[in-house]
């Protein structure tokens, strides 16, 4: 399984579980997207799950404000995934 983590403004992260062609957003018990406040919180949540790869994406309209070229593609980086010990 892979995790695709999307960084949202305000320090919020949403997570999608990807298993082959199946992609599901992680939801809470009320069937709403589960929000996380840090990568460590995500690692704790998935501590007992075998994760092959984890990706962090961030879409931001602010590239030009910090001297970067504006792009339509989100920034995507592969994370080193070492779950936290419980």
Own/partner pairs, 69-77, CB within 8 angstroms, 24+ separation: 74/6
Q: How far is CA 60 from the centre of its chain?
A: 14
Q: List per-residue pLDDT tens for the chain, 86 residues long.
A: 999 999 987 789 999 999 999 999 999 999 999 999 999 999 999 999 999 999 999 866 665 566 666 556 667 889 988 766 55
């Amino acid at each position: 399984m892979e995790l695709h983590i999307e960084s949202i403004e305000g320090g919020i992260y949403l997570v999608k579980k990807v298993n082959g062609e199946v992609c599901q957003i992680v939801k809470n018990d009320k069937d709403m997207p589960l929000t996380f406040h840090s990568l460590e919180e995500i690692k704790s949540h998935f501590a007992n799950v075998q994760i092959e790869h984890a990706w962090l994406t961030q879409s931001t309209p602010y590239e030009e404000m910090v001297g970067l070229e504006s792009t339509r593609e989100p920034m995507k980086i592969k994370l080193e995934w070492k779950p936290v010990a419980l």
